Amino acid sequence: MAAPSQASLLLHKQLKDLMKSPVDGFSAGLVDDSSIFEWSVTIIGPPDTLYEGGYFNAIMSFPSNYPNSPPSVRFTSDMWHPNVYPDGRVCISILHAPGDDPNGYELASERWTPVHTVESIVLSIISMLSSPNDESPANIEAAKEWREKRDEFKKKVSRIVRKSQEMF
């Protein structure tokens, strides 16, 4: 049997740390005990935001060279947010590959660095829910609605929050 990789050792440690001292606002575990590289995460909608009270499930997929490359995060629950693609993929700077942004939107310091942990990633996603960035949206329709029809946006989010509570 092959020796465990650096990535799997680090992920086992991060999972153990989260189990030992859970962080408010989310829970995490493995999708399937056979792979440390696929995590199931439930994010609780942050207080005093449109998402308050919602339970949003996501899958966090780690590359074999983690922490040198970022994981991808995809909501499996419905999500209406300027920084979440229609297919559920989360678009925030720290999940973008390290180095300079080819599009010039982000500083290298805002992008992925190996010091990030599952906890810091999920806390960044919670922060994203609290304050959408409509400057470089992943979901153009949601960003447009956020800017121009805030009441419509709030209604949609309210519906997905209710739906998430029924599913929970």
The residues that are catalytic are 91
**Helices 118-130, 6-20: crossing angle, 10 deg rounding:** 60
Radius of gyration in angstroms for the set of CA atoms belonging to the chain, rounded to a whole number: 16
Q: CA of 114: how far to CAs of 52, 95, 153, in Å?
A: 30, 11, 35
Helices (H) and strands (E) in the chain — how many of each?
Answer: 4, 4
